[in-house]
Chains A and B, each alone.
Chain A
Amino acid sequence: KQEVTQIPAALSVPEGENLVLNCSFTDSAIYNLQWFRQDPGKGLTSLLLIQSSQREQTSGRLNASLDKSSGRSTLYIAASQPGDSATYLCAVTGANSKLTFGKGITLSVRP
Chain B
Amino acid sequence: NAGVTQTPKFRVLKTGQSMTLLCAQDMNHEYMYWYRQDPGMGLRLIHYSVGEGTTAKGEVPDGYNVSRLKKQNFLLGLESAAPSQTSVYFCASSWAGAISGELFFGEGSRLTVL
Contact = CB atoms under 8 A, between A and B. Distances in A.
A34 interface: yes
Interface in B32-90: 40-43, 45, 58-59, 90
Contacts of A103: 40-42
Contact of B98 (A42, A45, A93, A102): A93
Nearest to B39: A103
Classify the secondary structure of A's interface with B: strand
26 contacts: A31-B98, A31-B100, A32-B99, A32-B100, A34-B103, A42-B108, A43-B105, A43-B106, A43-B107, A44-B43, A44-B90, A44-B103, A44-B105, A46-B103, A46-B104, A89-B42, A91-B43, A93-B98, A97-B98, A98-B59, A98-B98, A99-B103, A101-B42, A102-B42, A103-B42, A104-B42
Interface of B: 4, 40-43, 45, 58-59, 90, 92, 97-108
